[in-house]
Amino acid sequence: MPARLQTLCERAFVPNIVIAKTEPAAYQELLDRPIRELGLTLAGSPVERFVDQLYRELDAKGLAKFRPAFYLTNEWGCPSGEPIIGIPFYLAHAALAQLEKETHDLEDAREIMMYLRHEAGHAFTYAYKLHTKPDWKRIFGPFRRPYRDNYRPAPFSRDYVRHLPGWYAQKHPDEDFAETFAVWLTPRSNWRKRYRGWGAMEKLRYLNRLARRVGKSEPLRRRGEADLTVDEMETTVAEFYNLQQAGREEVAVTELTPDTDMRDIFPVSRRRKAAWAAAEFLHQHRKAVIDKVAQWTGAQRPLIKTLMDTIEKRASELDLRVDKTRSAEHLAEITAYVTALVMTYVTKGKFIQP
């Protein structure tokens, strides 16, 4: 693993990625290179072992003939109708993974497998053309239903499994099947006990029967067409991350004035021996807060990320402090505060109501 990148980006508040002067020139060279020239491949990469693990899990479930293909691309995905899975290119390169960790949120091993199982559910649907079958449509809904990024889920509904954050199974019938597949595939998920009495149980049992029926059959479509491969990505690494930031959902920062709230949450004197910079505390717990708020509110992650960046930046500007002996209390309060803001935004379209 390369040395830690010191100053890659001020997250959402600077227009360009900046490399510290003390960093090796190789890092700047990496940022300046087009992604397609990096020679990235799945074979031999750090993420290959996760693909192998997925194959073993498919075998364990009796899906011996289902072997989805993979390719490196700009994000997780499975092109609609194509039994092929896209994996983010940065997971195939240690230095790029560190860059992703510094600028956004790098997936850990558990999350990588969660995404792989979900995308394998899509690929399974397309490989056997399940979405064209009457029983699939009856249980999950019409595949041609309009696909909306901004969906409004019914929190805590027992008609759907829970896998990816944000009640993701409720987004579309295709996502419902993929999430159900992921739960069914996950080793030791204990789905028979966990979902006993739920409406989602019918879906899990259907999938269990389906696997026995088609597990030894060759897929109707063995190979799929990728959309954007890593060899076609002409943007440089730096341009990719700048575009990623530019595409994040803008929060009405001028509308959100958290100063009073922040001082109430972190009312700690700078002179206190146990005082710790609030901005550093927030950055340390940033991913955990984002993950949990996304999981339980169903809000889009870019919204929550940008909101957390705004709060962290303002805590730094106000030079606020936390009390190390009350860290759990501070964390609980900031998580509740962000959740309240996000739910207000989701339901009312604004953070601050007149």
Q: Output the tens digit of pLDDT for each of the chain's 354 residues.
A: 333 333 333 333 323 444 443 345 556 778 889 999 999 999 999 999 999 999 999 999 999 999 999 999 999 999 999 999 999 999 999 999 988 887 777 899 999 999 999 999 999 999 999 999 999 999 999 999 888 777 788 889 999 999 998 889 999 999 999 999 999 999 999 999 999 999 999 999 999 999 999 988 999 998 889 999 999 999 999 888 876 665 555 554 545 667 888 888 888 887 777 788 999 999 999 989 998 998 888 887 878 888 888 898 889 989 999 998 899 999 999 999 999 988 888 777 777 665
The CA-based angle 255-261-266, given to 5 degrees, is 140
Helices 286-297 and 301-317, axial angle in degrees (round to 10):
140
Q: Would you say residue 231 lies in a domain?
A: no
Residue 71, in any domain of the structure: yes
Domain boundary among 190, 214, 238: 214
**Residue 339: Cβ-neighbour burial (10 angstroms; 0-12, 13-18, 19+):** middle
Query: Is residue 314 in some structural domain?
Result: yes
Statement to judge: residues 185 and 326 lie in one domain: no
Q: Would residue 55 count as lying in a domain?
A: yes
277 and 200 housed in the same domain: no
Whole-number Å distance between alpha carbons of 183 and 189: 7
- Same domain assignment for residues 187 and 292: no
Same domain, 40 and 108: yes
Looking at the fold, whether 90 and 187 belong to one and the same domain comes out as yes
Same domain, 163 and 38: yes
Domain that holds residue 313: 250-348
Rounded CA separation 209/201 (Å): 12
Considering only CA atoms, which of 175, 130, 181, 137 is closest in space to residue 153? Answer: 175
* Domain-embedded: residue 240: no
So what's the pLDDT on residue 247?
54
106 and 195 assigned to the same domain: yes
Assess if residue 336 is contained within a domain: yes
In a domain, 295, yes or no: yes
48 and 169 housed in the same domain: yes
Q: Is the pTM of this model over 0.75?
A: yes
Count of the separate structural domains present in the chain: 2
Residues 86 and 174 in one domain: yes
Same domain, 189 and 333: no
Asked if residue 227 is part of any domain, the answer here is no
Give which of 346, 298, 291, 349 is closest to 157, Cα–Cα: 298
Residues 82 and 153 in one domain: yes
Pair (146, 262) in one structural domain: no
